[in-house]
Amino acid sequence: MAYGAAQPQPAGRLAYKWKVLISVIFGIFMIILDTTVVNVAFQTIRREYNTSLNNSQWVISIYTLALGIATPLSGFLSDRFGIKRMYVGGLAAFLVGSLLCGLAPTLSSSIWLLVAARAAQGFGGGIAQPLGSALLFSTFPPKEQGTALGIFGIALVVAPALGPILGGFLVDQGLWRWIFFINLPIGLVGVFLANRFLRERRPETVPALDPLGLITAVVGFGAVLYAASIAADQGWGAGNVLLWFGVGGVSLLLFGLIELFVAKEPLLNLRLFGNPTFLTASLIGYVTVIGLFGAEFLMPVYLQALRGRTALQTGFTLLPLALTSGVITPIAGRLYDRIGPRPLIVTGFALLAINTWQLSQIQADTPISTLLMLLALRGAALGLTVQTTFATALAAVPRRALARGSSLINGTRFVVQALGVAVLATILASALSPEVKAQSQQGREQAAQTAAQPFGLCETPGVPADQNVPPGVPAFARAQALQGVQQACRENLIGFERAYRLTFYVALAAVVIGLFMPGWPRAWAGRTAVGDAPPNPSTH
């Protein structure tokens, strides 16, 4: 594959590699921001559309589904039509979806227009996100690839943490539609820069379509992601959940067999997992995803459901995680170029294991200042590991297959992320008695229909502990309600301890696996270790 013809760089001009980095950061930041900003507005959207929980849940689920389905296709599409064209096309589809989301009318039946627009967002994001990483890796020389992905990683860790802050502020101001409209200026800049700066890279030969792989991949990834999205609420043993997991599992099994033994030009090159470095880095990367999104799933629930904080307050509490990650990630990228992944991954996961154990010990009255410190420490651990594992996996991929390799890594990470969050949500729910579950469901129904003031099961700011009952409870029922609230607090804390303890053991396993990664104290050769020629210096 001809990955870009050499073009001389005029003296005094910004090097092409930095133009690629700037272009990609703008586009991918917008996509990742949207993964968390909409969650904050979920109850408001449900109230505005006056629809059921099952219907409104599709606003969240369809985005993840479309993202997970489109990602495995991005590598093939870039090889077929050009990486620049598909990257810009993905951003454009995301922008159009964002505009349609903000303009969707608030009629009960119109919820499906919003769902369709969210699907367009997810599909566009699923195409663009893995191609952004492939563009970086194919442009920067081997000795700078860690640095490039480290700087790029700032967007990956800062955007999800800024989402709740921005979303909470807009919702509090009654501007929930602007959680979609804010994508427009960012995305337009991203599309403009990509059109202006990026060079097209076309294959020397047009790859053939893998129809059987395409069908089984779409069905398999889609069914598993959908099953994971409903498993926590309906239960892993529910017939609907088992059906979709069965469909997804069988489809993915067929997909694997087709890719390995039938397809002449596979949609995803599963044989990459035969490379020990790629396999090990991918496995550790899955753990990193659970650590990152697990924290961003568990902690907001703790702060809002148990401690009575608003969405905006929760976003600010999570900010230290983003800040320390944003500082450490580019530093880790530079260290990766010098010493390799092993010391970074082992150190990062050891720190993550300690931090996760500490989070498993949080109580109803743990000071917010302590949580800020723990989240900052967690951000440092994630800054050492998130992009390091991704860079190591891509370093083992031949340059001609970077787009396909990035699609494979990102696609499988989406599935692991969805399953991980579903497992953690199930662990949380498993600690609750039937009485508390019924009480929680009733509380969610009331909150969805009214702009209820914040209420926490363990603490509501400004409310004495002996009066901490849901708003609107009559005086004669307050004593009984207080007992129920205190029981719910205790059971939820047990659930949080169990969920964090699981991620603690997973982090310990990652430390052990990380010892088998390349890097210091052995020599580290980066991409040159797999014999791939670096890009032509004249492109930099």
Query: Is the same domain home to 230 and 370?
Result: no
Inform me whether the pLDDT recorded for 197 exceeds 60: yes
Residues 135 and 191 in one domain: yes
Q: Is the residue at 255 inside a domain? A: yes
Q: pTM of the predicted model, to two decimals?
A: 0.81
pLDDT of residue 425: 82
The CA distance from 340 to 343, in Å, is 7
- Of 241, 264, 287, the one marking the end of a domain is 264
d(CA 55, CA 46): 9
The pLDDT of residue 26 is above 60: yes
Task: Give per-residue pLDDT as tens, 386-408.
Answer: 888 888 888 888 888 888 888 88
Q: Quote the distance between the C-alpha of residue 402 and its chain's center.
A: 21
d(C-alpha 22, C-alpha 107), whole Å = 40
Is residue 447 pLDDT above 60, yes or no? no
* Positive or negative: CA dihedral 133, 135, 140, 141: positive
214 Cβ contact list (under 8 Å, min separation 6): 73, 76, 267
Q: What is the mean pLDDT of the chain?
A: 83
Q: Is 217 found in the same domain as 79? A: no
Which range of 30-44, 70-84, 521-535 scores highest in mean pLDDT? It is 70-84
pLDDT of residue 7 exceeding 50: no
Q: Render pLDDT for 286-340 as a digit per residue (tens, 0 to 9).
A: 887 776 666 667 888 888 888 988 878 888 888 888 889 888 988 998 898 888 8
Q: Can you give the residue range of the structural domain that contains 215?
A: 209-264
Chosen domain end from 234, 264, 294:
264
The encoded tokens of residue 331 equal 């530093």
Q: What is the pLDDT of residue 37?
A: 80
Cβ contact 75:90 at 8 Å:
no
pLDDT tens for each residue of 489-514: 999 999 999 999 988 988 898 898 88
* Boundary-marking domain end, from 264, 285, 302: 264
Residue 521 lies in a domain: yes
469 — pLDDT class (breaks 50, 70, 90) = confident
pLDDT at 191: 92
| Tokens found for residue 397 | 């991929």
Question: d(Cα 482, Cα 465) in Å, to the nearest integer?
Answer: 9
pLDDT at 531: 42
| Contact call for residues 427 and 387 (beta carbons, < 8 A) | no
Element (H, E) at 316: helix 311-339
Q: Work out the pLDDT band at 539, boundaries 50, 70, 90.
A: very low
Dist. CA 325–CA 376, nearest whole Å: 8
Q: Please check whether residues 99 and 215 belong to one and the same domain.
A: no
List b or e across 424-441, with b for residues whose CB sees 16 or more CB atoms inside 10 angstroms: bbbbbbebbeeebeebbe
The residue behind tokens 């696609």 is 411
Question: What pLDDT, on a 0 to 100 scale, did the predictor assign at position 296?
Answer: 66
Q: What is the CATH number of the domain that holds 170?
A: 1.20.1250.20
Judged against a pLDDT cut of 70, whether residue 6 lies above it is answered with no
- Do 166 and 298 reside in the same domain of the chain? yes
Residues 6+ apart with CB under 8 A from 327: 383
User: Is 449 inside any structural domain?
Assistant: no
Q: Please indicate, yes or no, whether residues 20 and 113 belong to a single structural domain of this protein.
A: yes
Q: Position of tokens 């708003």?
A: 471
In a domain, 376, yes or no: yes
Task: State how far the Cα of 494 lies from the Cα of 108, in Å rounded to an integer.
Answer: 38
- 330 belongs to a structural domain: yes
Are residues 39 and 63 both part of a single domain? yes
Nearest to 16 by CA among 127, 100, 140, 109: 140
Q: Is residue 2 part of a domain?
A: no
In a shared domain, residues 222 and 317: no
The answer to whether position 460 is within a domain reads no
Whether residue 238 sits in one domain with residue 115: no
- Does the pLDDT value for residue 119 go beyond 50? yes
CA 511 to CA 517: how far, in whole Å? 10
Is the confidence at residue 23, as pLDDT, over 70? yes
Pick from 31, 32, 315, 40: nearest CA to 165: 315
Instruction: Report the percent of the chain where pLDDT is more than 90.
Output: 23
Estimate the crossing angle of helix 111-139 against helix 42-49, to 10 degrees. 150
Residue pair 26/189 in contact by the 8 Å Cβ criterion? yes
Q: Are 378 and 355 in contact (CB under 8 A)?
A: yes
* Number of domains comprising the chain: 2
- Say if CB 183 and CB 95 are below 8 A apart: yes
Same domain, 317 and 229: no
Q: How do residues 48-96 score in pLDDT, each as one tens digit?
A: 888 776 677 788 778 878 888 898 889 889 888 889 999 999 999 999 9
pLDDT of residue 536: 44
Q: Is the pLDDT of residue 240 over 70?
A: yes
**Are 278 and 410 found together in one domain?**
yes
Q: pLDDT, tens digit, for every residue of 251-271?
A: 999 999 999 999 888 888 888
pLDDT digits (tens, 9 = 90+) for 415-432: 888 888 888 888 888 888
Q: Check whether residue 257 and residue 271 sit in a common domain.
A: no
Identify whether 8 is part of a domain.
Answer: no
**What's residue 446's pLDDT?**
55
Q: Decide if pLDDT at 450 tops 60.
A: no
